[in-house]
Structure 1
Amino acid sequence: MLLRVAVFSLGIEQKHPGPLLVIVGPTASGKTALAIGLAKQFNGEIICADSRTIYNGMDIGTAKPTVPERQGIPHHLLDVVSPDQPFTVADFQKRAYQAIADIHGRGKLPILVGGSGLYIDAVIYNYQFNADTKSRSQVNTRHAKEGSYQKDQTVRDNTLIIGLVVEQDLLRDHIAERVNDMVCHGLIDEVKDLSQKYGWDISAMQAPAYKSFRAYLAGELSLEEASALFVTADTQLAKKQRTWFKRNNSIQWVDDPSKAVDLTTTFLNKTS
């Protein structure tokens, strides 16, 4: 599998002076596997930066890592709230900073992992949210562009970000394989249960996995058609995520993701 890894250093809030490793990239690009491997090698714990896996009960459709898949590595900020409860970027930032401090306090390496660009940026750039932003049920990309926060421009050397990118055609194949696997492992029952409990109107149910199968449950689409709709939606999401993470001009591209180990080793030696 041909991957490219983007690496660049940014700053983090002064109150968290210890090292922070961040892994970003589009959905289905292999972030979780890379993060777990690095956590094992460098005594780390994972902080999940995903606007969907924060919800209880949304497991299969969000590709939330199962307990066996976590391989004994502690994962933070999974299953934070129920799908009908508000959760803002400011909420995530606060909890992420708390998790980072706790992990540092145990002498371990915090590894922030995810594809939600606004969540990631809120932590590494120390966004300062105004009162109106904090009161919203969610903050989206449009709000970010409109300046509903203030961004800390301070650059520190205690943060290493590894961005994982898969070639477009290969990524779509990965997404299609994952959708098929989700369906085989109970996605339809999960969608049905969540829709009966929460309805279709809450924002959490607009995630591709759930929205795509609404018409199937209503008898308006076949399972194959609904699955294809999900693949298309996740492919479009991946494109948006790639666009978000490519905005930084400091990115250095390498061809081999195994170099993430060397980069992390060098980074930790410099920050120790």
Structure 2
Amino acid sequence: MEKSINTVSIVGPTASGKTKLSVELAKHFNGEIVSADSMQIYRGMQIATAKPTKEEMDGIPHHMMDFLPPDKTYSVASYVTDASKCIADIHSRGKLPFIVGGTGLYVDSLLNNVSFSDDKRDEDYCLELRKIAEEQGTDRLLEMLAKFDPESAERLRENRNLKRIIRAIEFYKTTGKTITQQIEESHKIPSPYITVKIGLNCRDRQVLYDRINKRVDIMLEEGLLEEAERVINSDLSYTSIKAIGYKELIPYFKENKNLNDCVEKLKMETRRYAKRQITWFKRDSEINWIYIDEYNSFEEIYSYAKAVIERGLLYG
């Protein structure tokens, strides 16, 4: 497949400034934004997921955001299918697609044109595996996975994402293939995208952590507690209620724990998440990194990012 669609991706950890930069760049380059955030897809989860407001969008269309009921599950395979359609539509109208977000698996799977098999899910087996994790711990599932797919077990051991560990075991049971085999086969199909990649980060990690802490404080001012209480007390899926910003406040609402302690836990978990995001994106040597704490103003960051995109679009 010949690469024929120009795209721009803007990635990086939470609170690094992706929203503002992407909107300003989209205005300059006649673009539209395709969100790559696994939690912003859900309706009614505005504050905790840092979903941009109408004012922040500033007239730029945003796709793949705020479209799914919170009680529905959504896979990376579904994301690739749906986001690809958005990109094709944006491109067909002569506009430049911007893929913006911090969910590395979404970004990489989309831009690398990863294909997924149409296997059916075994929900009963997934529940059985989740029960094992609750009773014996996540390490037990990693031991099970390592017996037939040591590569995936090693990869998942770092972030200990229970959903993906369960999926890797279930995938082998239902298809007879390992997730590692599936990933290798899926990358054989060329990507149709020529992508200029920009990553936002801070050279001084404490600067990023301070931004995260401030963001959490602002979220609380904007009504995070009220939103979290509504989400926690509703009949939502395991995935959505476990979003950072909700799960850390469950002890406050359910166990009368001290609010300040829960907020500090929320800040800590968000900082840890940012660290995992940085680790993920650092593996991509094609990303042009912008360390925002090395610039004196947003205007300087914007000017540099604009130059990177212009150069990338010119030379492909």
**Separation in 1, partners of 2:309, 2:19:** 16
Q: Aligned in 2, Cα 1:254/1:51: closer, same or farther, shift over 3 Å?
A: closer
Q: In the alignment, which residue of structure 2 is the partner of 1:7?
A: none
Determine which structure has the larger helix proportion and give its number.
2
- Superposition deviation, residue 240 in structure 1: 0.6
RMSD: 2.6
- Superposition deviation, residue 248 in structure 1: 2.1
Matching of residue 269 in structure 1 with residue 314 in structure 2:
yes
- Superposition deviation, residue 215 in structure 1: 0.6
Report if the CA contact (8 A) 1:60-1:190 is conserved.
yes
Amino acid at match of 2:270: D
TM-score by length of structure 1 reads 0.86
Identity %: 37
**Separation in 1, partners of 2:277, 2:79:** 18
- Superposition deviation, residue 64 in structure 1: 0.3
Q: In the alignment, which residue of structure 2 is the partner of 1:236?
A: 272
| 3-state SS in 2 of match to 1:130 | coil
Q: Aligned in 2, Cα 1:221/1:72: closer, same or farther, shift over 3 Å?
A: same
- Superposition deviation, residue 235 in structure 1: 0.5
Matching of residue 206 in structure 1 with residue 193 in structure 2:
no
Q: In the alignment, which residue of structure 2 is the partner of 1:177?
A: 214
Q: Aligned in 2, Cα 1:175/1:135: closer, same or farther, shift over 3 Å?
A: farther
Q: In the alignment, which residue of structure 1 is the partner of 2:230?
A: 193
**Separation in 2, partners of 1:147, 1:70:** 40
Q: In the alignment, which residue of structure 1 is the partner of 2:136?
A: none
Q: In the alignment, which residue of structure 2 is the partner of 1:98?
A: 85
Matching of residue 115 in structure 1 with residue 151 in structure 2:
no
| 3-state SS in 2 of match to 1:46 | strand
**Separation in 2, partners of 1:132, 1:74:** 33
Amino acid at match of 1:140: R
* Partner residue of 1:221 out of 236, 242, 257: 257
Q: In the alignment, which residue of structure 2 is the partner of 1:140?
A: 164
Q: Aligned in 2, Cα 1:206/1:36: closer, same or farther, shift over 3 Å?
A: same
Report if the CA contact (8 A) 1:26-1:165 is conserved.
yes
| 3-state SS in 1 of match to 2:119 | helix
Q: Aligned in 2, Cα 1:118/1:177: closer, same or farther, shift over 3 Å?
A: same
- Superposition deviation, residue 153 in structure 1: 7.0
| 3-state SS in 2 of match to 1:208 | coil
Report if the CA contact (8 A) 2:3-2:192 is conserved.
no
- Superposition deviation, residue 35 in structure 1: 0.4
Q: Aligned in 2, Cα 1:17/1:106: closer, same or farther, shift over 3 Å?
A: same
Question: Unaligned 5+ residue runs, structure 2?
Answer: 127-161, 169-177, 296-300
Amino acid at match of 1:174: R
**Separation in 2, partners of 1:194, 1:242:** 28
Determine which structure has the larger strand proportion and give its number.
1
Per-residue deviation, residues 238-261 of structure 1 (Å, max 9, x unmatched): 111101001123445455533111
Q: Aligned in 2, Cα 1:183/1:97: closer, same or farther, shift over 3 Å?
A: same
Report if the CA contact (8 A) 2:40-2:65 is conserved.
yes
**Separation in 2, partners of 1:251, 1:99:** 23
Q: Aligned in 2, Cα 1:229/1:148: closer, same or farther, shift over 3 Å?
A: farther
By relative contact order (CA 8 Å, sep 6+), the higher-ranking structure is: 1
Report if the CA contact (8 A) 1:24-1:115 is conserved.
yes
**Separation in 2, partners of 1:157, 1:178:** 33
Which protein has the larger Cα radius of gyration, Structure 1 or Structure 2?
2
